[in-house]
Structure formats: C-alpha cells, structure tokens
Amino acid sequence: MDKRFYITTAIDYVNGAPHLGHAYEKVVADVIARARRSLGQSVFFLTGLDEHGQKVQQAAHDLGQSPQAYCDDLAVQWSSFVQSLGLSHDDFVRTTDARHQHIVVALLNRLHATGHFYKSAYRGFYSVKEETFLTEKDRNPDGSWDPQWGVVQELVEENWYFKLGEHQSWLVEYLEKNPEFVQPTNRRNEVLGFLRSQKLEDLCISRPSSRLSWGIPLPFDPGYVTYVWFDALVNYFSIPAALGDPAALAPLGSPAPAGSSLSVWPADIHLIGKDILKFHAVYWPIMLHALGAPLPKTILVHGWWQKDGAKLSKSTGNVVDPLAIIGEWGLDAFRYYVVRELGIGPDGNWTDDGFRVRYNSELANGLGNLLNRAVNMLNKYRAGVVPSPSRTLAAEATAVVEKTRACYLANDPQGALIAAWELVNRANLFVEETKPFHLAKDPAQSELLDSVLYNLVESCRILAVLVQPVMPATADKIFAQLKVCGEASDWKQSAWGGLAQGHQVGAPIPLFPRKDLAPK
Ligand code: MSP
C-alpha cells in the first residue's frame, strides 16, 4: 500500500471564534492538498479542534453547561465554518473523540513504561489565563506581571514531567542535518538559535484533576490529566493510528488490524502559525523520538494576518469576517485573495481596498475577462466551434504550467498563482496584439483569426487546471463553459492541445462580475 501525502493544520481552540487567521491556514493547507491530488498523489488531509483545557472548563462552567455540551455546540459552528471554506479534508479530529483519547492514553503508557516521565514538586507562579507557569524572565523590569498573564498565583504542585532536556543535542543535530524539517529557513534558524542558546527544561505534562478536570486522565496516575500540548499535538498521530495505520500503531506496541489499508504516517506537512513553532519544532519531534516513531517531514510555518496594520482583535473590532467576505464576493475570490496576497512566511495585512483591487484587476479584468473574451469571440466569429489547433502560445503556456507545478510541489501556492497569471496576462496581451475584432472584418485573415481564437480558448482551458487547487469552483465553471470533458482537477489536462477541432463550446458567462472600485 502506497503512503499517502499527509498534511495537517493546527487544531483550533474550540472556544475561539473562527477568524481570518484560521481561514487562511485551512485554505492554504487545502490548496496544497488539492494540488497534490491533481498531480496524482493520494492525499490525507486532517484538520480539527482542540477542546480540552482550563478556559473551556471555565467558559462551560460560566454558562452552566457541561464542558462536553459546550464543546459540542461550538463544534457545530466550526464544522460549518470549515464547510464554508470548501475544504477537501479527509477527516476532522476533535480531541474529545474517544478514538483520539484512546491513542493519547496508549502513547502516555508507552512513554511512562519506557522511563520518559517522572513526578516532581514545583513551586512557581501560574497564569490562569494562559494556563502556564511563568518564570522570572516573564516579569516586567519592575517585578510586576504583565496584564497579558491575567491573575498570577503562586502555586506548589506535584506534577508529571517529560524528560525533554535529554534530547536537546539530538534535536540540534537533527535540525542541522535536515534543513527541510522546519520551513521557511528563518523559522528553522529561530529554532536552532533558541536551542543553541538555552538549556531545554523538562516539560510538565500534567495538571492535577482537582484544578483541571477537563482533560484526558493520566492512565498511570488518575489524580492527573494531560497538559494541553501533550493532548493536542498527538492528534496528528492519533487519527492515523485510530484508522489502523501500521506506522503509527507500531511505536505504540499495537499490531495493525488485519486488512488495514491506510498508510499516512509520518506527516509530510504540519502547517502552523508562527506562534506555535516551539511546540511543533521542539516538543513534538522530541515526543516522537522518545516514542521511537518516525518524524514528520516538514513543519511549515506561516505568518500572521493583521488588518489595516493592527492586530486582529474582537475586542477592538479590528476583524475580518471570512464568512461575510465569502457571502459578498464568493468563496473562490476569498481563497484567491488570501493565497495570492500572503505567501507562507511573512506577516500579512488585510485591507478592504487591497481585496477590491486584486478582485477587479486580477480576477474580473484578468482571468474573468480573458475567458469572457475568448468564449465570446469564438461564439461570435466561429459559432462556438473550435478551429484547427495552433501552437502560437504553446511554448509559453507549457513553461507556465511547469513553473506552476514546481511551485505547488514546493508548497508555494502564492508562487503558483503568480506563475499562472503570467499566462493570464500573456493571453490578454495576445488579444491586444492580434486584434481579433479587426481580423474578423477581413476574410483574408480568416486563418490567422482561427489561430488566435484557438490559442485563447486553449489557454483558458489550461488555466482552469492551474488555478483549480485554489479556485475549484471557478475551474469547473471554465470547463463547463468550454464544455470540455475531463476534470480540471487532473493536472494531465494541462497539456497543450486538449481542445479538438470541431468541438463546440458553450455560451459566455462572467466568472467574476466587476464591482465598483470606489472605497466603501
Ligand atoms: N490549539 C492550538 C494549536 C494546537 S495544534 C496541535 C492553537 N489554536 S488557535 O486556535 O489559537 O490557532 C490555530 C491556528 O491559527 C494556529 O496555527 C495559529 O497560528 C493560527 N492563527 C491564529 N491567529 C492568526 C492570525 N492572525 N493570522 C494567521 N494565523 C493565525 O494555537
């Protein structure tokens, strides 16, 4: 059985409202997943929800609900959010799923049995809001605690610890030998810089159930539940294991069920935001290494969105509501904009004007206008019948196809769109250069007109395949207008010459209606 290309997103805190940052990460992961499928790979795409912890327990309590009922209500909103983004995920994990919890327990038992945990007392300052112990380094210069920590309490507590520190030199060496493990490079350097300059403390993996009951109980000490990251990170591994993947079951000492046909672990990409880099690039590989499990290939780290140069924040009202944008402009326009605007790495800035400008210039006047002109002229001058094949733009289109493919394979969806728009712009320019509306008036230019029209509709057909991972519905609309059989989701359709002479195309329908450019 062939291993599937396995991509994950971070799992979102169930009690946070879905926002642009969540939408971006999911759309980018979806684009990578769809591109790989188009290129012939079999894919497993996982996303989901992180449901345990103090804040959820507290919020449920405040509402007079059980934490499970509270999570179940919120999970409905999240799953409709995911649907609105048009994701092609293969599974949706909730950390309250029995299948997840079962594997977390098996993993904890295994690491306990192999001597990776110990129990110890700790005295320290604890931020209830951030669910974390603070160190002296977290104090302000005047000794006070920053308001970001909320109420800070001094606590003495016995807890379970994971011997994280033991693996520090192994991890440094691993990062040095595997440059693709953390991408982009500046994030890898950040992790290496941190590991080379600071001694890694052992990791507290538990909370007493008297303080936090909403978690997975430690199987070897029932007075405790797992600490949030030891639960959450494991989702990437628990779902393959629960579905019977032998590569995830073997390190747990469990045999694969008879007839098991799933092979996904190790993950090819964990797509995450920059704020959770340390958990993914330090804790997670060490947990897997201690378990004797293969490591994910790449932790791919994206930046954070702001709006109008300021942090997204519900309390200040500085928000972008992805569902409102999708409602007004359409899902594909939203997906296009976020992918085109922000490559994986830097931080991004949403402006409503920026969105409108890209919509009008790149979608309405760019791709939309190209298709509209091509189909319109073919209908007008040739009754919608494709003339004999011509190769005037073939070499340029083929080079663009190759460039776009390379970007998708390099997990660079923004680069893929930039490459594809070379063909959009080239073909639109070709209309200006050849002036088919003039050629149509001169019967002596009939052959040239045939050739121009062929090159235009064929470019549109190929563009549908190139943009399909980002704008699946648009790609299908282009294929439908051209009345071509075959799937725009199959990269093989991007070879020049797919339109046969005599093929009848449909009527033109605008892809992206133009909208008023004036700021609202
Ligand atoms: N539950 C943890 C992740 C556990 S993964 C095993 C968590 N959840 S979160 O809801 O706070 O964030 C989910 C993802 O959204 C993270 O990758 C985070 O970086 C991303 N984003 C949250 N706000 C963001 C922006 N403003 N911009 C881009 N992405 C952002 O962390």
Q: What is the CA radius of gyration of the chain?
A: 27
Within this chain, do residues 257 and 406 fall inside the same structural domain, yes or no?
no
CB 51 less than 6 A from any atom of ligand 1: no
Residue nearest to atom 18 of ligand 1 (CA): 273
Cβ of residue 285 lying under 6 Å from some atom of ligand 1:
no
Tokens in use for 173?
């060496």
Is any atom of ligand 1 closer than 6 Å to the C-beta of 50?
Answer: yes
Q: Is the CB of 16 under 6 A from ligand 1?
A: yes
Q: Tell me: do 74 and 220 sit in the same domain.
A: yes
25 in ligand 1 pocket by Cβ < 6 Å?
yes
The secondary structure of residue 493, as a DSSP letter, is G
495: left (phi over 0), alpha (psi -120 to 50) or beta: beta
Do 254 and 110 fall into the same domain? yes
Among the listed residues 203, 239, 229, the one whose alpha carbon sits nearest the alpha carbon of residue 102? 239
Query: Measured from the CB, is residue 23 less than 6 Å from ligand 1?
Result: no
With the most atoms of ligand 1 within 8 angstroms of its CB, the residue from 304, 318, 347 to mutate is: 304
CA 176 to chain centroid: 26
18 and 99 housed in the same domain: yes
**What distance in angstroms lies between residue 22's CA and the mean position of ligand 1's atoms?**
6
CB crowding 295-329: b at 16 or more within 10 Å, else e: bbbbbbbbbbbbbeeeebeeeeeebbebeebbeeb
Range(s) of the domain holding residue 418 = 352-494
β-strand partners of 48? 93
Q: Do 293 and 361 reside in the same domain of the chain?
A: no
Residue 308 lies in a domain: no
Strands across the sheet with 310-311, in order?
Answer: 310-311, 305-307, 348-350
Which residue, among 510, 512, 504, has the nearest Cα to 372 in the 3D structure? 510
Residues 28 and 170 in one domain: yes
Does 219 lie in the same domain as 128?
Answer: yes
Based on the domain organization, do 266 and 358 belong to the same domain? Answer: no
Residue 340 within a domain: no
Answer yes or no: do 188 and 262 share one domain: yes
Cα of 9 from ligand 1 centre, angstroms: 9
H or E stretch including 381?
helix 369-382
- The atom number, within ligand 1, closest to the CA of 232 reads 6
Phi/psi of residue 481, nearest 5 degrees? -65, -35
Q: Is 300 helix (H, G, I), strand (E, B) or coil?
A: strand
- Is the same domain home to 245 and 124? yes
How many helices and strands, by DSSP H and E, does the chain display? 20, 16
The answer as to whether 235 is a domain residue is: yes
Distance, C-alpha 105 to centroid of its chain? 28
Q: What pLDDT is recorded for position 516?
A: 67
Specify if 431 maps to a domain. Answer: yes
The C-alpha atoms of residue 459 and residue 230 are separated, in whole angstroms, by: 50
Q: What's the CATH number where 477 sits? A: 1.10.730.10
* Cβ of 402 below 6 Å from ligand 1: no
- The pLDDT score that the predictor gives to residue 69 is 98
Q: What is the CATH number of the domain that holds 291?
A: 3.40.50.620
> Is 447 domain-assigned?
yes
Q: Which residue type, as a one-letter code, is found at position 342?
A: L
Alpha carbon distance 459, 449 (integer Å):
15
Cβ of 275 below 6 Å from ligand 1:
yes
E strands, 228-313, are: 269-273, 298-302, 305-307, 310-311
Mean pLDDT split into 10-residue runs, the chain, 520 residues: 95 94 98 98 98 94 97 97 98 98 98 98 85 84 91 91 97 98 98 97 93 94 92 98 96 90 96 98 98 98 97 90 97 98 97 97 98 98 98 98 98 98 98 98 98 98 99 98 96 98 97 72
Residue 153 and residue 87 share a domain: yes
Report the separation in Å between the CA atom of 388 and the middle of ligand 1, taken as the mean of its atom positions: 52
Residue 114, both tokens: 């192999």
- Which residue CA neighbors atom 5 of ligand 1 most closely? 10
Residues 6+ apart with CB under 8 A from 138: 125, 145, 146, 149
- Give CA angle at 114 (124, 93), nearest 5°: 75
Phi (first) and psi of residue 120, to 5 degrees: -155, 155
Check if 304 has its Cβ closer than 6 Å to any atom of ligand 1: yes
* Same-domain status, 72 and 201: yes
User: Given the DSSP bridges, would you call strands 206-208 and 224-226 parallel, antiparallel or unpaired?
Assistant: antiparallel
101-to-78, 189, 249 alpha-carbon distances in Å:
20, 34, 14
CA distance 241 to 100: 9
Distance from Cα 107 to the centre of ligand 1, integer Å: 24
Number of separate domains in the chain: 2
Determine the atom of ligand 1 nearest the C-alpha atom of 348: 27
Confirm whether 343 is domain-assigned. no
In a domain, 326, yes or no: no
- C-alpha of residue 84 to centroid of ligand 1, in Å: 18
Tell me the pTM. Answer: 0.95
Q: Which of 260, 285, 302 is the last residue of a domain?
A: 302
Residues near 443 by beta carbon (within 8 Å), at least 6 away in sequence: none
The upper half-sphere exposure of residue 140, i.e. CA atoms within 13 Å in the direction of its Cβ, equals: 7
Residue 331 domain flag: no
